[in-house]
Amino acid sequence: MIVCHCFAISDARIRALIGECATGRDVMFKCGAGRDCGSCRAAVEALVAQHRVGVRSSQRATC
Ligand code: FES
């Protein structure tokens, strides 16, 4: 699914960068999403937040 229509950046590309980046802003800096109209920024931040919740949940499950 395309998240950033200005630069044709997919959710898969964003998810691939999340592990390398500390924040949603870092993800956007690396892939270019959010640098034009900005309408995708909330979606990128949501993907990062979803990833962080998933990581925390899986860490709790193993403790
Ligand atoms: S949709 Fe991402 S900058 Fe416009």
Q: CATH number, domain at 47?
A: 1.10.10.1100
Residue 11 neighbours by CB under 8 Å, 6+ apart: 1, 2, 3, 47
Q: Tell me the pLDDT band of 62, cut-offs 50, 70 and 90.
A: low
The structural domain count of the chain equals 1
Dist. CA 44–CA 15, nearest whole Å: 9
Q: What is the pLDDT of residues 34-45, one digit of tens each?
A: 999 999 999 999
- In the reported structure, the alpha carbon of residue 4 is separated from the centroid of ligand 1 by a whole-number distance in angstroms of 5
Q: What is the pLDDT of residues 8-42, one digit of tens each?
A: 999 999 999 998 998 999 999 999 999 999 999 99
Residue range(s) defining the domain that contains residue 39? 2-62
Q: Quick check: CB of 43 below 6 Å from ligand 1?
A: no
